[in-house]
Amino acid sequence: MTQDLYQSPSAIETAFYDAFARLDLSLMVAIWLPGERAVCIHPGGQLLRGADAVLDGWRQIFNGAAPPSVEHFVIDTFNGGDLSVHLVEERIRPHHAPAERANRLIATNVYLRQGGRWYLAEHHGSLPLVKQPRGQAIAEKPRLH
């Protein structure tokens, strides 16, 4: 692993999705902010607080899994000093499945710079986006909360 990995939020983000696609827990450990400040919420899951809980969550996901195909597309970013927030669309599917089978999710990734390097501090993944069948009208306005 080179120092370049830690030089920008974008580099950490690329490494994060690469670690996910390769089921590489050792790379996940290098990416996540150590200590109690790390936070992760997997789609439909509970709040995981602290690096130990976050990495245990990834360990459980990776255990016995086949490497998925993982793509991410940056929707928006906010950068300010030692903080960077990225809103991304994730497309996750079984490795050899066609692109149409991908689950599309929206995630927020928060990056912090500490000690001269960047870390992933928070990841919050949504439930899969629901597609409205073509030609079908929405009966009522969706409730946000």
β-sheet with 117-125: strand ranges across: 47-49, 39-41, 117-125, 103-114, 83-94, 68-80
The model's pLDDT over 42-59, given as tens digits with 9 standing for 90+, comes to 999 999 999 999 999 999
The answer to the question of residue 68 being in a domain is yes
Domain that holds residue 109: 3-125
Average pLDDT over residues 18-35: 97
Q: Which pTM does this prediction carry?
A: 0.86
**Number of folded domains that form the chain:** 1
The answer to the question of residue 116 being in a domain is yes
pLDDT band per the 50, 70, 90 thresholds, residue 132: low
Q: What's the mean pLDDT when you consider all of the chain?
A: 89
Residue 99: which CATH number? 3.10.450.50
- Whether residue 24 is predicted with pLDDT greater than 50 in this model: the reply is yes
* 111, 120 contact by CB (below 8 A): yes
